[in-house]
Structure 1
Amino acid sequence: MSKSISARDLGIELKSADESALFKWFVASFLMGKRIQADIAAQAYRVIVEKHTRDTARKLAACTHRELVMMLGEAHYVRYDETTAERLRHLGKKLSDEYAGKIGHIHSASEDRQAFEKRLGEFEGVGPKTIEIFMRDAAAVLY
């Protein structure tokens, strides 16, 4: 089992109603939810969100597939680069289109934590592991 990386380890300070931090942690959790080493997933997060400033749903959705594959390659996140690139674009687009780019809107549209987690699972490529990683740190500011 690979080590756990927290939001704080990535310099993400989760606070209630801080949409930027929640989005960044969702992207990081998405990357770490795959069968890939945690440090490589963390590096992919840093390359995409910090270096290339794809730090909002809209900016992520505006990336081309090729740009995302190159960013993932830069981070040595190559095992699932093609599908991950496509799913990251879909994640940004769905979050923008359906929730105005805000994790908080998913939260306010959900009756409870179970409904919130179910909505997260409706994003392509977001499974139980990604939800578990995300909620490990985000639950404290959401619930």
Structure 2
Amino acid sequence: MAHDINASDLGIDVASGEERALFKWFLASFLFGKRIQQEIAADAYRAIVEKHGRDTPRKLGSCSWQQIVDMLGEGHYVRYDESTADRLLKLCDKLEKEYDGKVSRIRERSADRREVQKRLEAFEGIGPKTAEIFLREVGKVWFR
């Protein structure tokens, strides 16, 4: 059985705690959280981040809805492309407005892991599964 794709499989060093790495894993977790094959989610991530360089909330959030749909399509992430594009724009907007564009602020503004999970789930399109995927890696850094 194939293992769950993790941050290091995508070349993301979450242990660095670096903001760009945190956002990349946040984005990847969001894509993995949908009912879609992991490899397709990984390909969509690579199209957005590696091919198009949309590796910050500002860079991704400045895309049009159609540009995001097209990038998702390049990764064959087509089943949920329209709703996902919409939610990714909202995710970037919320990160910018409520957390100064920094995923690390979610941790800074939370008392504990449970509050981090609650804040993550306040993003449209993020439920317990996506929060669990994100925290599976970032939790090791944030909650030592």
**Fold shared per TM-score above 0.5:** yes
Matching residue's letter, 1:13: D
**2:127 corresponds to which letter in structure 1?**
G
Q: Which residue of 1 aligns with 2:22?
A: 22
Cα shift at 1:104: 1.1
Residue segments in structure 1 that go unaligned for 5+ positions in a row: none
Ranges of 4+ aligned residues in structure 1 off by more than 6 Å: none
Q: Which residue does the alignment assign to 1:129?
A: 129
TM-score of the two chains, using structure 1 as the length reference: 0.96
C-alpha distance in 1, partners of 2:131/2:37? 17
Measured at CA, do residues 97 and 69 of structure 1 come closer, stay the same or move farther in structure 2, by a change above 3 Å? same
| Offset of residue 125 of structure 1 | 0.3
| Kept after mapping to 2: 8 A contact 1:16/1:142 | no
Q: CA deviation at 1:16?
A: 4.6
Look up the match of 1:114: 114
SS of the counterpart of 1:58? Answer: helix
CA RMSD of aligned residues (A): 1.2
Quick one: percent identity of the two aligned structures?
59
- Return the letter of the residue paired with 2:45: Y
Q: TM-score, normalised by structure 2?
A: 0.96
- Partner residue in 2 for 1:32: 32
Q: Residues 16, 113 of structure 1: CA spacing in aligned structure 2 closer, same or farther, 3 A cutoff?
A: farther
Say whether 1:58 aligns with 2:34.
Answer: no
CA distance in 2, matches of 1:74, 1:17: 29
Q: Which runs of 5+ in 2 are unaligned?
A: none
TM-superposed deviation, 1:97 = 1.0
**2:59 & 2:97 partners in 1: Cα distance?**
13
Q: Which residue of 2 aligns with 1:94?
A: 94
Query: Using a 3 Å threshold, how does the CA distance of structure 1 residues 37 and 118 change in structure 2: closer, same or farther?
Result: same
